Structure 1
């Protein structure tokens, strides 16, 4: 089930994950406006003009992902900039003894190279240029000027 909720700066949202869930993507949307029926738009991260997403958010958006009971029955989580960046994010587990989370709090929008700038965020080069040089699906790509920039230490 897809959910949407407004978070203001500094607020958090606890997610209870149902047993058997394998994984999910969570992304930030900004400058949203929805009517009573859940129809509307977001400046970044929009997912087809609806509050309850049925598709992935449109870049740029900061993305958190988790995969549960995967390789050797381990759980994995990350913050990814594969869809670009729009807001800082902190993503932390709160159960099963795991207390170490991850966060990306750098001013990426302020550091964004001019070629990747978008209203409200910073795009990934794949989104902008749509060439194999930036997709690296083969596993044999070379670093680029964009991949050499480290945004989230």
Structure 2
């Protein structure tokens, strides 16, 4: 792994990954939405309210795996950080300690894993609540991933909830929509 390299960016949040040290990576999460989101990062990041244009930087270990960054919407928290969110709620806590409740568009990543490579992708496994972009910023990797479609506007009635669109597995919980059998 190189000592200094940049990786991803998100556009509900815009996440930029900087490798400042061998043992850490930095994600800059920026809200590009025209509304407030409450960013969530697990493991290690917690959560933060981001108004349009605001940025939140988090540091993660270079060996981090099964990590997620997401945006929660229409949240309300008291002074102690307890409350709730319309989408992506993580146990009623501002500082997330577990994954959020669907629907929740996610940027998932793993750092310094197979062959010392990093991976990142956008997941709709837990549904959709906000558009998302996750893109490299330098060091030869120029392609990112982005979902800017109006999925909430096109969501089938059976999957639609306030503020988002559920994955069929979340709603129906059948083998037809869920990968439960390993086949």
- Scaled by the length of structure 2, what TM-score is found? 0.69
Distance verdict in 2 for CA 1:139–1:19, change over 3 Å: closer
In structure 2, the gaps of 5 or more residues are: 1-43
8 A contact 1:28–1:62 mirrored in 2: yes
By how many angstroms is 1:97 displaced?
4.2
Higher strand share: 2
8 A contact 1:23–1:68 mirrored in 2: no
By how many angstroms is 1:52 displaced?
0.6
Higher relative contact order (CA 8 A, sep 6+): 2
Tell me the equivalent position of 2:7: none
For residues 158 and 102 of structure 2, the distance between their equivalents in structure 1, rounded to whole angstroms, comes to: 15
By how many angstroms is 1:54 displaced?
1.3
Higher deviation after alignment, 100-109 or 79-88: 100-109
Match of 1:75 among 118, 121, 126: 118
Higher helix share: 1
8 A contact 1:60–1:123 mirrored in 2: yes
By how many angstroms is 1:56 displaced?
0.8
1:66 aligns to what SS in structure 2?
strand
**Do structure 1's residue 112 and structure 2's residue 163 form an aligned pair?**
no
2:127 aligns to what SS in structure 1?
coil
By how many angstroms is 1:9 displaced?
4.5
1:93 aligns to what SS in structure 2?
coil
**Do structure 1's residue 50 and structure 2's residue 93 form an aligned pair?**
yes
1:77 aligns to what SS in structure 2?
strand
By how many angstroms is 1:136 displaced?
2.1
- Over the aligned positions, Cα root-mean-square deviation in angstroms equals 1.9
**Do structure 1's residue 22 and structure 2's residue 65 form an aligned pair?**
yes
In structure 1, the gaps of 5 or more residues are: 141-153
Tell me the equivalent position of 2:37: none
1:4 aligns to what SS in structure 2?
strand
- Scaled by the length of structure 1, what TM-score is found? 0.81
Distance verdict in 2 for CA 1:4–1:127, change over 3 Å: same
